């Protein structure tokens, strides 16, 4: 390819861009490549993943709102939130099999939005795999390693939704109490 010379112009909406291309944003939606190849099952799995992710985000947000309403200063709320979040993360099953936890600690996993979210995403990921050698036996072996069950997704959605409602209500009550005490 000696002597090969390339000339090109970059256009946006039909207008030539004279600046370096690296100075402009690089977003390009490529829906035509990915979305039409999805089956109904693939699309539903993506939507289930999005639902679990949004519920985890809402759980964390509602907990932050509750702590902001409960404590007078941000520093006190953060001082409480960091160790509590660390505890919730440890109880999620991400760092260890929750069935190996001592009985007096094991119940606490059901208060962790990390646990519900992690289980929901893992169950969603391993529920359907397009591989002829992959069977439900392998799915169950993988899920048993983290003490999850393949039919717990509905429980995870209910658990995450309950945490969201609980923290929003608790935040509202804490705010009402603080307002009444300040009068």
pLDDT at 144: 84
The owner of tokens 């359907």 is: 128
Task: Look at residue 31 in the predicted model and tell me its pLDDT.
Answer: 57
What percent of the chain has a predicted confidence (pLDDT) above 70?
A: 84
CB 183 within 8 A of CB 78: no
108 within 8 A of 91, measured Cβ to Cβ: yes
pLDDT in tens, 55-94: 999 999 999 999 999 998 889 999 999 999 888 888 888 8
Structure tokens at 22: 């690296």
Residue 1 lies in a domain: no
Q: Which helix (H) or strand (E) holds 11?
A: strand 11-12
On the 0-12 / 13-18 / 19+ scale of CB atoms within 10 A, 114 is buried
Neighbours of 84 (CB within 10 A): 14
> Does 150 reside within a domain?
yes
Q: How confident is the model at residue 6 (pLDDT cuts 50, 70, 90)?
A: low
- For residue 30, what pLDDT is reported? 54
The predicted structure's pLDDT at residue 24: 54
Q: Three-state DSSP class for 12?
A: strand
Mean pLDDT of 138-164: 88
Asked if residue 20 is part of any domain, the answer here is no
Q: Is residue 21 part of a domain?
A: no
The region of weakest confidence among 25-39, 145-159, 166-180 is 25-39
Q: 136: buried, middle or exposed (CB in 10 Å: 19+, 13-18, 0-12)?
A: exposed
> In terms of pLDDT, which residue wins out, 20 or 133?
133
The total domain count for the chain is: 1
Quote the tokens at residue 53.
């992710």
Question: What pLDDT is attached to residue 164?
Answer: 95
Three-state SS annotation for 68-87: HHHCCCHHHHHHHHHHHHHH
The burial of 140, by beta-carbon neighbours within 10 Å (0-12 exposed, 13-18 middle, 19 or more buried), is given as middle
The more confidently predicted of residues 34 and 138 is: 138
Residue 76 located in a structural domain: yes
| Domain extent at residue 138 | 37-182
Give the pair of three-digit tokens for residue 126.
């391993």
16 is a domain residue: no
Residue 5 lies in a domain: no
Cite the DSSP H helix spans in 29-112: 31-34, 40-70, 74-90, 103-106
- Which residue did the predictor score with more confidence, 153 or 20? 153
Q: Write the pLDDT tens digit of every residue in 10-49.
A: 777 777 776 555 555 555 555 555 666 777 877 888 888 8
Mean pLDDT, residues 152-168: 93
Q: Is residue 126 part of a domain?
A: yes
Evaluate if pTM is beyond 0.75.
no
Confidence band of 147 (pLDDT split at 50, 70, 90): confident
In angstroms, rounded to a whole number, what is the distance separating the alpha carbons of residues 170 and 181?
16
């Amino acid at each position: 390819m000696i002597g090969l010379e390339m000339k090109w112009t970059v256009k946006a909406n039909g207008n030539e861009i004279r600046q370096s291309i690296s100075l402009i944003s690089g977003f390009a939606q490529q829906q035509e490549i990915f979305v039409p190849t999805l089956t109904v099952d693939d699309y539903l799995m993506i939507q289930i993943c999005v639902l679990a992710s949004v519920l985890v985000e809402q759980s964390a947000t509602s907990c932050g709102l509750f702590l902001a309403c409960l404590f007078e200063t941000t520093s006190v709320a953060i001082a409480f939130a960091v160790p509590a979040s660390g505890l919730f993360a440890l109880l999620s099953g991400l760092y260890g099999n929750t069935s190996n936890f001592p009985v007096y600690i094991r119940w606490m996993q059901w208060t962790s939005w990390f646990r519900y979210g992690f289980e929901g995403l893992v169950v969603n990921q391993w529920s359907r795999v397009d591989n002829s050698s992959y069977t439900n036996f392998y799915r169950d072996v993988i899920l048993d390693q983290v003490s999850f069950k393949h039919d717990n997704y509905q429980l995870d959605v209910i658990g995450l939704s309950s945490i969201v409602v609980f923290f929003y209500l608790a935040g509202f009550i804490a705010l009402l109490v603080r307002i009444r005490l300040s009068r």
